[in-house]
Structure 1
Amino acid sequence: MSRTIVPADYRPPRGLSNRHVQTLLPRLLPRRRLARDTEILNLPDGDFVELAWLRQAPRRDDAPLFILFHGLEGSFDSPYAGALMGAAQQAGWRAVMMHFRGCGQAPNRLPRAYHSGDTADAYWVIGQLAQRYPHAIKVAAGVSLGANMLVKLVAEQGGDGLDLAGAIAICAPLDLAASADALNTGFARIYQRHLLRSLKRKVMAKMAQGPMPIALSPHQFKELDSFWAYDNEVTAPLHGFSSASDYYRRASAGRLLSEIELPTLILHAADDPFMPGDLFDHLPTPSDSVRVEIARHGGHVGFLEYRRGGLRSWLARRVGEQLNDWAALGSAASGQPIPSASRSDN
């Protein structure tokens, strides 16, 4: 195993190691409800994204800033969002989530959507936040689709192309073709069906409003029953790819792991049902700037642990620890006092 790929310290509770239990259980547990303020940020092409800011943010303009990118068809209401943003808040960080186009409270304006390799919006948002908070330490995190996007973005921009101290990628489908295959197999087809239903509902609403660059009849569109079919007939033509294969090849971030210069933490479960178990065996060796922590169990964005008398998110605890580490390093380098922070026990 590469020295940049190490075992994670996550251990599932007794009886909860099954990957599908870990994947589904967070949706059934009570969620942390956090108050937010919504900001509409206009993009250069005339579209917009919604930012969800946690209230009770630090008053200091130089307080550290945590930027979260959600997964496919995710949002501020996703189970992991409250846990991760709450961990950042508890650690003394200002926290914001960027909703991908059409994933916030209102549909986006243009006849397009978002995809796993769509780095331009995140790049624009990080740039705007850099202007707004020039003296704040900033760390970005991505979950699932948002994690692949973030890894691709930091690889493209090099070590100083983004105003970020580090990046955290959680359950990133770094080989999109392999993930599409995994999601079309066995029980994982349940996840595929659920996600496709949400994607197709949004596109159908747009098709009813005006022309879309999709050469399908309504009946053919409804019959798309796999990510391979959907991405070939919808995602690719909407976003300038020639086919699903072309999209998967160009948008997958795994091929860029050896090129990353920004400090990056990748958290992964070997039993993630959204991707093959040997994912990293077929990817380039990560650069020395990357640390990959792989747990035997955890499912897809699950990683529930028994702590403080109940089931809690190990991901939130691990992210909180990492934020504390990077805040300390950044403060030491700048000579500024470390913002008040407590170890996250979410």
Structure 2
Amino acid sequence: MSLPQGRDFQPRWPLTSGHIQTMLSSSGVRRKMLPRRAYHVLENAEEVMVDGGEGIRLSGSFTAQKVQPASRGLAVLFHGWEGSVDSTYVLQTGSRLLEDGWDVFRLNFRDHGESHGLNEALFHSCRLDEVVHALGDIARRWPARVMALAGFSLGGNFALRVGMQAPAQGIPLHYALAVCPIIDPSEGLFSLEESAPWFYRAYFMNKWRRSLRAKQKAFPEVQYFELQELKQDLRGLTEALVLRHTDFGSLEAYLEGYSVAGRALANMQIPATILTARDDPVIPVDAFEKLELPANIELDIATYGGHCGFIRGWDMTSYCDNYIAARFNAIAEEHACIA
């Protein structure tokens, strides 16, 4: 079977600009221009709570397919940092998978979406155990012949780390796909501060500060931060919260805690794909080129696409949808033949 490749994505100008791709990917303009089918995953969606272990609750949304007698499998989607189950790219991908007969589960990480009041402790990117536990709960409650996982940006980083742990935890995850994942967090943080245009920092910082204020409002008896700390830059605020709310002891140790750089993915047991773009202005391509990957992990570096964009044209649909669906379908067909 011939699968779509990153090199096949050849948009017309001005969508050859990584900055335009990135800015459009989560823009309100794109949300308004997308065709109605991009929102089908919202129809008859069931809002649920899943078990993150040790009393932790994570929110999510399950939508059952209705296009064929039996589901192809369960597709689980992870959003990016300060995204949610309702992020445009998550809705569009989920809707595309529904069309192909997949049941779809969209998971909110802690303190994302409207979930700030569910757990007292703050979200941080090393809270992997609760996401793994939640995936196990999802697998038990919505059993499927095949389960495949896709994540975007920070969600792609989580997807790769979850894929590493799932077999040992007895979770029947068959495949993981990461779109523009964070590889080396220290390098990514440097990139946003030192080389990326200022408006990316402003965008992420505004969303993060708004999220932190929502957390403080949900738990007014807990002091999560000093007001002065909110005025710091990305590095300063991250370090302040790491030292205040984690046991890592330093910003460097925290960033290393969720790195998948170098040989970190060498022991991945399930098949996986990493898709990124050479013109991604948020995650430097150098980190991908330095990866030392086993044969079961496909690294696909497209020329164009920006950060989680891959927008094909002025209908604002994404090449990622067909890319992800094709690989999920191939995994489902492979396991159908085995069965």
With the length of structure 1 as denominator, give the TM-score of the two structures: 0.85
The 3-state SS of whatever aligns with 1:257 is coil
Provide closer, same or farther for how the CA distance between residues 59 and 298 of structure 1 changes in structure 2, counting only shifts above 3 A: closer
**For residues 247 and 58 of structure 1, do their structure 2 counterparts lie closer, same or farther at Cα, with a shift above 3 Å needed?**
farther
Instruction: Tell whether the 8 Å contact from 1:237 to 1:243 is kept in structure 2 after alignment.
Output: no
What is the match of residue 290 of structure 1? 297
Residues in 1 aligned to 2:67 and 2:130: alpha-carbon distance in whole angstroms: 26
Q: Is 1:153 aligned to residue 152 of structure 2?
A: no
Are 2:154 and 2:182, in contact at CA under 8 Å, matched by a contact in 1? yes
Preserved CA contact (<8 Å) 2:188 2:282: yes
Once the 2 structures are TM-superposed, how far is the Cα of residue 310 of structure 1 from its aligned partner?
A: 4.1
What displacement does 1:311 show?
Answer: 4.2
- Amino acid of the residue matched to residue 188 of structure 1? P
Q: 1:87 to 1:196 in 2, by over 3 A?
A: same
Candidates 317, 342, 345, aligned match of 2:322: 317
* 1:75 to partner: Cα distance: 1.1
Q: Name the aligned partner's letter for residue 85 of structure 1.
A: G
Per the TM alignment, residue 198 of structure 1 is displaced from its structure 2 partner at its CA by 2.0
Residue of 188, 194, 201 corresponding to 2:197: 188
- SS of 2:269's equivalent? coil
Partner of 1:343: none
Kindly provide the amino acid, as one letter, of the partner of residue 331 in structure 2. W
Question: Given the alignment of the two structures, is residue 268 of structure 1 paired with residue 276 of structure 2, yes or no?
Answer: yes
Residue in 2 that maps onto 1:246? 253
| Displacement of 1:276 | 1.7
Structure 1 residues without counterparts, runs of 5 or longer: 1-5, 335-346
Task: Give the deviation of 1:88 after TM superposition.
Answer: 1.0
CA distance 1:300–1:17, change in 2 (3 Å): same
User: For 1:8 and 1:161, how far apart are their aligned partners in 2?
Assistant: 36
Q: Distance in 2 between matches of 1:243 and 1:65?
A: 39
Q: Alpha-carbon deviation of 1:238?
A: 2.3
Where does structure 1 differ by over 4 angstroms across 4 or more consecutive aligned residues? Answer: 55-63, 157-161, 211-214
| Higher alpha-carbon deviation: 8-17 or 296-305 | 8-17
Mark the CA change 1:246 to 1:212 in structure 2 (over 3 Å): closer, same or farther.
farther
Contact preservation (8 Å) 1:119, 1:150: no
Aligned residue in 2 for 1:165: 174
**Alignment CA distance shift 1:7-1:65 (3 Å):** closer
Alignment TM-score, normalising by the size of structure 2? 0.87
Partner of 2:21: 22
Cross-structure match for 2:285: 277
Q: Contact 1:57–1:95 at 8 Å: present in 2 too?
A: no
Equivalent pair of 1:38/1:51 in contact (CA under 8 Å):
yes
| Aligned residue in 2 for 1:33 | 39
Following superposition, the deviation at residue 7 of structure 1 comes to 5.6
RMSD: 2.4
Change (3 A) 1:78 1:166: same
Q: Which is further off, 315-324 or 180-189? A: 180-189
> How far apart are residue 166 of structure 1 and its match?
0.4
Question: Matched residues in 2 for 1:205 and 1:243: separation?
Answer: 26
Matched pairs, number: 323
Which segments of 5 or more consecutive residues in structure 2 lack a partner in the other structure?
Answer: none
CA distance in 2, matches of 1:298, 1:159: 34
Q: Distance in 2 between matches of 1:180 and 1:189?
A: 13
Tell me what 1:125 maps to: 134
Give secondary structure in 2 for the equivalent of 1:147: helix
